[in-house]
Amino acid sequence: MKRGTPIICQALKCMLNRTNAAINTNMHPPVPYYCRRAGSSLPRAPNALGPVQPTAIVDSQEVKFTDGPFYEKHFDSREYLKAFAVDPSTRHGFLPFVLRHLHNTFSTGDLKGKKLIGLGSGPSIYIIISARKCFEEIVLSDFTTGNRREIEKWLKNDEGSFDWHPIIKFVCELEGKSRSPEEVEQKLRKIVQFLKCDVTLENPFQPEMMEPVDCITSSLCLEAACKDLETYRRAVGSIAALLKPGGTLMLTGILNQSYYFVGKQRFDCLVLTQSMVEETVKGQGFSIKLVDIQPATEEEKAGCDGDPFFYLVAQKTE
């Protein structure tokens, strides 16, 4: 037995080496939690024992979807504006894409009325610059205190308010420079008011009751506020209830997106395809008049996993 022992040990050692080599060859590298699409699963090594666990933790608690209270606590309005509201004449991407479409939509002369709502507008005013010539009143709205504070500072022209001049100038150039950026900004401050809203509620302006309006525009909001497709459908239905018959809806956003970053903070999104958006809008009593998409730039892809952008115009038929 003693003479055979070295042979047995050598055989066992050889088997262990082959097993370790196979595991090392087939083992997938770990995938960061923030890089996974919604609904995807982490890769698992063949013959590995147990699933790999995600490690992303926020405030020592796992967050399934970044909801309203999370935004209230973590969304940095000024950080968002610094990254997003950049002079559109210096780059391609989402902002010039949307500004050109909004200009084209409002410059036809067919779209006009008493009141327009910018639903879930965040700390931004870009969605209503071209609309100022078509409506007597404009309502901007958002959930978080920080976003509302940014707009209120701009409305009062307070010191330290965000400088929208480069973006307003871009729109003025689209319009043929018929008005100066200063005149446009002055007009906007006269007709804009700002309210709190929650797009996941049946009445987004609860407890205030809003009379049906002529036009609603919403950008980069619904996919960030709605945790699932049913919630998204209800939100579009609530928008329909705020519109007069024949009223116009304009939606802009990013398709196939499960997250985006503001600074180092990650926020979740409902992954939507073009067909999902169109079917939802049609299902809530709208007739789609225009849909356009544009690929995201490489720079924009660094801050989110969505692509492409979309712009949709629809009319309420019911």
pLDDT tens for 208-254 read 999 999 999 999 999 999 999 999 999 999 999 999 999 999 999 99
80 is in an annotated binding site: yes
Are the C-beta atoms of 269 and 225 separated by less than 8 Å? no
- Is the model's pLDDT at 117 over the cut of 50? yes
Are the C-beta atoms of 314 and 287 separated by less than 8 Å? yes
Are the C-beta atoms of 128 and 217 separated by less than 8 Å? yes
* H helix runs in 27-144, sequence order: 68-74, 77-84, 94-106
Interatomic CA distance for residues 199 and 215, integer angstroms: 16
89 is in an annotated binding site: no
Q: pLDDT value at position 299?
A: 87
Q: pLDDT value at position 58?
A: 43
Low-confidence winner among 8-17, 102-111, 121-130, 203-212 (lowest mean pLDDT): 8-17
126 is in an annotated binding site: yes
Helix (H, G, I), strand (E, B) or coil at 131: helix
How many helices (DSSP H) and strands (DSSP E) are in the chain?
11, 9
268 is in an annotated binding site: no
120 is in an annotated binding site: yes
Q: pLDDT value at position 63?
A: 53
232 is in an annotated binding site: no
Interatomic CA distance for residues 37 and 258, integer angstroms: 6
- pLDDT digits over 53-90, tens only? 333 334 434 558 999 999 999 999 999 999 999 999 88
> Where is pLDDT greater, at 187 or 42?
187
Domain 68-316: CATH class, spelled out: alpha beta
Q: pLDDT value at position 185?
A: 96
Q: pLDDT value at position 66?
A: 94
The H-or-E segment that residue 171 falls in is helix 165-174
Helix axes 181-191, 165-174, angle to 10 degrees: 110
DSSP string, 132-196: GGTEEEEEEEES-HHHHHHHHHHHTT-TT----HHHHHHHHHHTTSSS-HHHHHHHHHHHEEEEE
199 is in an annotated binding site: yes
Helix axes 145-155, 77-84, angle to 10 degrees: 70
71 is in an annotated binding site: no
Q: For the chain, give the longest Cα–Cα distance.
A: 102
Confidence class of residue 91 from pLDDT cuts 50, 70 and 90? confident
> What amino acid occupies position 153?
K
